[in-house]
Amino acid sequence: MRSKNSLIGLKTTSFIEDARRRQIIEATIQAVAEDGYAGASLAKLAARAKISKSIISYHFSGKDELLENTVHSIYVDIWSFVHPRLIAEKSARDQLRAYIESEFAYLEAHRPQLLTIGYILMNHRDKNGALYLLEQAEKTNLTRLGQMLEAGQKSGEFRSFAITPMALTLMHSINGALGHWAAHPDLSLSDYARELVTIFYLATRKETSASHRKNHLKS
């Protein structure tokens, strides 16, 4: 049974419960990756995980909570892979490179996770019809990218530009490349990563006085 912390009223779960929830989430990832959003029905998930539907209902209040936890779990895994590589770099330019390369490296090795978040984010809606999980994911990603770009400006490495449009362009460039790779898995994500790193290095770099004079003479 689920227990509660008697001092602060927070729910705690046992090791067995955590393992069961993880099992259900893993089954959800595999089901959605293989069958699309339709694979997220509780009946199909129960059959895939070889458990009863009532067990899923015990650990998750419904489909909404299960899919929310599945998306959250994938993004936590991605960030756990990306973040150490990001903070290992000292310069803003190298952090930008590390962000792009490590995100692509993780998803190239975890194709089911990429397909799952794509299917869920683009299809799961709240009672008002809003793609609320997509909105939440985009908000989080924009915040992280914006903070990284702003830090590069403050350090003097990046030129002056509008943070939100640049962050939004970078986010959609990454998502677009991943979406194309999802449809064409024979293509190389390494090529995408290399070109995006070059594009956004050129887009964000602070022009030196020498290069500025050279460009001025050409114009």
- Share of residues in the chain with pLDDT > 90 (%): 73
How far is Cα 74 from Cα 140, in angstroms, rounded to an integer? 14
- Structural domain containing residue 104: 63-208
**Is residue 198 over pLDDT 60?**
yes
Q: How confident is the model at residue 209 (pLDDT cuts 50, 70, 90)?
A: low
17 in any annotated domain = no
Q: How confident is the model at residue 213 (pLDDT cuts 50, 70, 90)?
A: very low
149 in any annotated domain = yes
Please tell me the total count of domains within the chain: 1
Q: How confident is the model at residue 216 (pLDDT cuts 50, 70, 90)?
A: very low
85 in any annotated domain = yes
**Is residue 56 over pLDDT 60?**
yes
**Is residue 3 over pLDDT 80?**
no
Identify residue 219 by its one-letter amino acid code: S
Q: Phi, psi (5° rounding) for residue 166?
A: -70, -45
- Kindly report the CATH number assigned to the domain that includes residue 88: 1.10.357.10
Q: What pLDDT is attached to residue 15?
A: 78
Q: What pLDDT is attached to residue 8?
A: 41
Per-residue model confidence as pLDDT tens digits over 117-165: 999 999 999 999 999 999 999 999 999 999 999 999 999 999 999 999 9
**What is the secondary structure of 8-71 as a DSSP string?**
T--EE--HHHHHHHHHHHHHHHHHHHHHGGGGG-HHHHHHHHTS-HHHHHHHSSSHHHHHHHHH
182 in any annotated domain = yes
Per-residue model confidence as pLDDT tens digits over 75-111: 999 999 999 999 999 999 999 999 999 999 999 999 9
26 in any annotated domain = no
3 in any annotated domain = no
130 in any annotated domain = yes
27 in any annotated domain = no
19 touches 4 (CB < 8 A)? no
